[in-house]
Amino acid sequence: MVKATIRASIDQDIQKIWQIVTNLQDYSWRSDLSKIEVINERQFIEYTKSGYPTTFTIIDKEPFTLYSFTMENTNMRGRWQGKFTKSGAQTDMIFTEEVTLKKFYLKPFAKRYLKKQQEKYLADLTAILKREKEVTEKSH
């Protein structure tokens, strides 16, 4: 099993962050995805820009606190967990991903790949929050 964790504090309301992270209908902020197909209220499939699918099943969704799901594709299966905590005007987040590889030859690259994916996700999230904050400030 390979595990990667990333922590961040963002100067943004926890409700706004939660809304973006859990909204499966609007994935336009995700630079790594071409689409999300919602199967039902607990299951969805994310497709990379190259069309590679990963199936997710939501196992915990406690508003503004915890969001977690299992995930599986032809290369791996695992679990992703996001913990959210309000800290004054900031939101603290801890994202943890644990995967078991289905192909042994991927193991040497897995930890670095997970970290890169987490950094990209966080960068995308930070970018959309910054854009939305700028739009809000301009309209006031």
Domain 1-137: give its CATH code: 3.30.530.20
Rounded to an integer, what distance in angstroms lies between the CA atom of residue 36 and that of residue 25? 7
Residue 37, H or E segment: strand 33-40
> How high does pLDDT run on average in the chain?
95
pTM for the model stands at 0.91
The secondary structure of residue 106, as a DSSP letter, is G
Given a contact cutoff of 8 angstroms between Cβ atoms, the answer to whether 43 and 57 are in contact is yes
Residue 62: per-residue pLDDT: 98
For 2-23, what is the mean pLDDT?
A: 96
Rounded to an integer, what distance in angstroms lies between the CA atom of residue 18 and that of residue 85? 11
* pLDDT greater than 70 at residue 140: no
Indicate the residue type of 69.
F
Domain boundaries, the chain: 1-137
